[in-house]
Structure 1
Amino acid sequence: CDPRKCQLPHCFCSKDGTQIPGNLQAQTVPQMILLTFDDAINQDNWELFSKVLLTPNRRNPNGCPIRSSFYVSHPFTNYQHVQKLWNDGHEIAVHSVTHRGPELWWSRNATIEDWFDEMVGQANIINKFAGVRMEEIRGMRVPFLRVGWNRQFLMMKEFGFVYDASMVAPHSNPPLWPYTLDFKMPHSCLGANQHCPTRSYPGIWELVMNQLEAGEGEYTCNMVDSCPPHLSGEDVYRMLTYNFKRHYLSNRAPYGLYFHSTWFKKIDYLNAFLKFMDDLQKLPDVYFVTNQQAIQWMRQPTPSNRLHQFEPWQCQPKQLEPHEQVCQLPNVCKLRSRVLQEDRYFYTCMECPAQYPWIRNEFGL
């Protein structure tokens, strides 16, 4: 990393990955909380998202509602729900069309064409059936966090993705800030048989996943739901708070909390998380933002006391075209899938396609 050759807004790196962008003092930096949810959005988790976690009364210090990022995979997703989340200002990003196994296929076998079919294919499905603007679908997370070596990043560069959110960093104090892939990654490539990129991808951001410490530091986990399942609600609350302090009281690197919605089905965990959210909302410089908003802040580092003027974190309602506005009642399409050899129900505000959308036929023609 050569800081003289790597200048914001287009490039960011630091020797060990822990330096604050713009050389701000830590206490002037807003503590970003990056709440992300992976996989399908449907009736199983809709109530959780819309009525429990992301309610209008939860606001950031600048008065805007809290925001999160959704990495949407296609099977069983209700695209009316996706459209509503996007209308409300959350970030919609891609997590593949098929979410297929085996896990190692993604890191070992998937070709550039496969990456394109899976990720650009899913962006096309989201754009067509949830009305989300193509230019707002900027990020991706790989299924099973199985990073796809140079092939994944060549596809991203080619298609104009802005960031990846799949790489896990070794546990570190202080935690790491996101960085661009102009230079070598500031950490080792974590995980068995992981294939991180080895070439330079100027301007592509890596929203690196910092690990959580759990159980008095005996465990580390990258997704909250991969933490040991024997933890009690009280343990979870302590873990969330302890790791928050590791960020807030050091370099204030964004604090990522990465979930699959099933984790919240344990009522003790849900309550622990809501209590933790309540604590954070009392602090004057803690913001729940999308991954895309985190990048916008890093491109233009702005101290907490000036965030009222910081455009990317404001919340003027989107100027939506009629077809972008979510409907009250979606079309329920019963569709044949030739590939899956079965019928699937498909929910969208748009017209029903002829077939169930899938890779290489994302418009369901």
Structure 2
Amino acid sequence: MNLAAAVGLLACTLVVAASAGTLPLVPTYTCDPAACKPSENCQCATYVSPLPQEEMPQFVLYTHDDAIMPEITDAIKETVGDRTNPNGCTIPLTWFTIKYGTEPNCNLVKQLWREGHEIALHTRDHVRLDAPLTNEQKDQMKSVKSWLNETCGIPLEHMVGMRDPFLVNNPDTREVQHEMGLLYDSTINEHWTNDGLWPTSANGSARLLPYTMDSGIPQICNAVMDGVCEQSERYPGLWEVPVWVLQTSKYPMDAYAMDPGGDVYALLKVNFDAEKMYEGQPRGFPFGDFDLADVMLPEDDDMDIPSGSDEEQEEDLQTESGFSNVLVVDNLPAVPAEKYDKLTAILTKIFGGSGRIREGGLFHPQDEATKRSKGYAFVEYENAEQARAAQFVAHIWEVRTGRRLRTFDGPQEEYAVGALARPDGGMKWPAFRWGGGGGGAPTYLAHMKRNAISVYEAPEMGMLDKRSVKMEDVQDWEWSPSTSEAALCAYQAEQGNLPARVVIMRLPEREELRQKNLFSVAGIKLTWHPQGDYLAVQVDKWTKTKKSTNTNFELFSMREKDIPIDMLELPNKGEKILQFAWEPRGSRFALLHGDGGRPSAPLPLRQQSLLILAACPPPFKTPHDRFFQLIWRPRPPSQLPEERQREIVKNLRKYSKRYEEEDEALLAQADTEFVGERERQLTEWRSWLASKQAYAQEREQFARAQLGERAAAHDRFTVKAVEVSVVLDVKEEKMAA
């Protein structure tokens, strides 16, 4: 529930009697519930709900302050996960937003609003709002709303709440909020005490609920953060949603309004224990006898289990399902005997959450000599369904209908084969790859398994011909990107005296279009041309000594009859291939090869219709310090048919002449416009000058009338410019012969 919705709920449900002396509020606060009615958007301050505790809804107002950025929204959404409210709705947040940092992410802001989240205000640049407010501070409060509306598209009427940065509040900030027509503020801290020193809430289990400021503010505003409240403040219709401070004792100096430290679990238990909540408050959380220490690692001892703050991040524990009801857990820390029992207890708690482990069903083996754990364990559940909770599972969905089309599950090792197997036993992605679908052809999804490739046809996702494509010791495969047919290439490793094999197959016929046998293969890399016109197979072959490798390319021309294969070798066979890339549209490719930090590119070579471009003399050269990477902008495909493109190339001179004439006409037009502008300015100047002639004549006549003969004598003088040469110095120097 977001804050705006919560305020609306309270306005409809809170009907209580609250008067001076009945609540532990500031003595000057009085409110008449007969005059202040929720039905009229007015609510007296109270900490007592009109509903019995068992009927009062338990809700959390989830808020976030400052900039909206992808990394923040992703992290917050992870805390929510797939949870929903009791009515089935997703869990919304209130995002108190600033412009600074949010500016590049307007699309994300609008997406959050469309998903039902509340966008609220937090000033433009997150500035302190100390009183008295300057015009700039007031603009900071107001302009963020107009920016969110004009730039991010959030409707003005949907932005109804505000939280002041740093929780600094005063009468000036509330006056501006009231002028803006906001529904609520959520800035003032609400703490508790039971000794009368700060009379606001009675104790930790009786907290002040949201109220309107029609009758003033019943809180002590400066107990925790920088706040100021005055007895004369009245803001009809403006709600205050107090920020409940987390306290470890009855004194506000032991309180946290933000960024709590120390034992956070104990802090939450002190403030929200269900057994201590006041009967007029929502139900708390059932902490009961649960002790966090039962699942905590010993102090100053992480038992070699990496934390999220370590500089070198390590992967989480990898779990793989075996058969039936047994789970195999790998990549566990190998701990000494004194830590073995503690780690075993932690594993029992972790994996016991997926189901009930049979008695003695967790086997955590130790080395008999050193008594260190071996880094893996076996967990036996009561049934296969419980074990399957930790299995590898992949689902294929139809997005438009929400229908699940197929589920792939089973041990991860069934999918992590060949080039998809990581050194740690995990699986590389993408393991499932889409192909086909062009020109009305069927769309397929395929994955590799041991000695076979399984292909499924959309939209029903049934296995093609109800059987996998058999390929002994298949190591890798790739779909052709061609839109005219569905074809894939696959690499099968050597087996004994049988050679390695690269095969190209057309589906659904399962027809082998071409195959190539290879010997002494150390590795294969498959690279399709972007349009599927060619296939480049990079082959790393062992030398006779088996201590090094040489590289060559097998180039398949897919559009030619019988798919001919050309072999390409580098001048220096021992150099390593660092990168290979096809031209986006065309028949050329580029190679980057060499050793270590000094890669080189080959000289231009022609292999029938294929040309290596990497070392062609560049038309220009631009030095850049610390140059690391260059990426070309993709060239979109032409919208013209091929015949039209060929016709344009053939008549390029004619088109060039036409466009040159158009360019010249544009330049001439620009010149005409420039000359016309000059003429306009000159005419304007002459008009202005003519308008001043009469004034100049009047000035001259006035001067003559005032000066008389002296003015006439001035006319007899003649001004001439003369040049005078003066020798300043003469110096003689003897010149060398």
Aligned-partner Cα distance in 2 for 1:48–1:40: 14
Residue of structure 2 in register with 1:212 after alignment: 246
State the Cα distance separating 1:168 from its structure 2 match: 0.7
User: Which stretches in structure 2 are left out of the alignment for 5+ residues?
Assistant: 1-30, 193-200, 285-306, 310-737
State the Cα distance separating 1:93 from its structure 2 match: 0.2
Aligned-partner Cα distance in 1 for 2:235–2:242: 15
State the Cα distance separating 1:45 from its structure 2 match: 1.3
* Pairing 1:121–2:121 present: no
* Pairing 1:195–2:248 present: no
Match among 15, 21, 32 for residue 2 of structure 1? 32
Matches within 5 A, 1:107-146: 107-111=130-134, 113-146=135-168
State which drifts further: 184-193 or 163-172.
184-193
Counterpart of 2:114 in structure 1: which amino acid? Answer: N
Aligned-partner Cα distance in 2 for 1:182–1:254: 29
State the Cα distance separating 1:176 from its structure 2 match: 0.9
Counterpart of 1:65 in structure 2: which amino acid? Answer: T
Conserved? CA contact 2:48–2:280, under 8 Å: yes
State the Cα distance separating 1:158 from its structure 2 match: 1.8
Aligned-partner Cα distance in 2 for 1:148–1:187: 12
Aligned-partner Cα distance in 2 for 1:97–1:202: 26
Aligned-partner Cα distance in 2 for 1:209–1:193: 13
* Paired residue total: 239
* Pairing 1:178–2:210 present: yes
Counterpart of 1:96 in structure 2: which amino acid? Answer: T
Higher relative contact order (CA 8 A, sep 6+): 1
Matches within 5 A, 1:214-233: 214=248, 219-223=254-258, 225=259, 227-228=260-261, 231=262
| Structure-2 change in CA distance of 1:251 and 1:196 (3 Å) | same
Aligned-partner Cα distance in 2 for 1:95–1:34: 17
Residue of structure 2 in register with 1:283 after alignment: none
* Pairing 1:34–2:61 present: yes
Larger C-alpha radius of gyration, 1 or 2?
2
| Structure-2 change in CA distance of 1:85 and 1:25 (3 Å) | same
Aligned-partner Cα distance in 1 for 2:75–2:96: 16
Aligned-partner Cα distance in 1 for 2:180–2:210: 21
Residue of structure 1 in register with 2:479 after alignment: none
| Structure-2 change in CA distance of 1:214 and 1:44 (3 Å) | farther
| Structure-2 change in CA distance of 1:79 and 1:214 (3 Å) | farther
% identity of equivalent residues: 31
For residues 25-67 of structure 1, give each alpha carbon's deviation from its aligned partner in whole angstroms, at most 9, with x where no partner exists.
22211012011110011144132134x1233x11111111112
| Structure-2 change in CA distance of 1:4 and 1:70 (3 Å) | same
Aligned-partner Cα distance in 2 for 1:145–1:267: 30
* Pairing 1:62–2:97 present: no
Aligned-partner Cα distance in 1 for 2:32–2:234: 13
Residue of structure 1 in register with 2:169 after alignment: 147
Counterpart of 2:281 in structure 1: which amino acid? Answer: R
Aligned-partner Cα distance in 2 for 1:182–1:211: 24
Aligned-partner Cα distance in 1 for 2:269–2:92: 20
Conserved? CA contact 2:57–2:282, under 8 Å: no
| Structure-2 change in CA distance of 1:193 and 1:145 (3 Å) | closer
Match among 42, 54, 65 for residue 11 of structure 1? 42
Aligned-partner Cα distance in 2 for 1:38–1:202: 26
Aligned-partner Cα distance in 1 for 2:92–2:120: 13
Counterpart of 1:220 in structure 2: which amino acid? Answer: A
State the Cα distance separating 1:177 from its structure 2 match: 0.3
Counterpart of 1:7 in structure 2: which amino acid? Answer: K
Matches within 5 A, 1:31-110: 31-50=58-77, 52-55=78-81, 57-77=82-102, 78-100=105-127, 103=128, 106-110=129-133
TM-score of the pair, normalised by structure 1:
0.59
SS in 2 for 1:32: coil
User: Which stretches in structure 1 are left out of the alignment for 5+ residues?
Assistant: 256-265, 269-365
Root mean square deviation of aligned Cα = 2.7
Residue of structure 2 in register with 1:240 after alignment: 268
For residues 233-271 of structure 1, give each alpha carbon's deviation from its aligned partner in whole angstroms, at most 9, with x where no partner exists.
xx323433442336865433599xxxxxxxxxx959xxx
Aligned-partner Cα distance in 1 for 2:138–2:158: 18
The structure in which a higher percent of residues are helix is 1
| Structure-2 change in CA distance of 1:95 and 1:199 (3 Å) | same
Counterpart of 1:182 in structure 2: which amino acid? Answer: D
Counterpart of 1:211 in structure 2: which amino acid? Answer: V
| Structure-2 change in CA distance of 1:54 and 1:125 (3 Å) | farther
SS in 1 for 2:61: strand
Aligned-partner Cα distance in 2 for 1:143–1:221: 16
Match among 179, 182, 185 for residue 161 of structure 1? 182
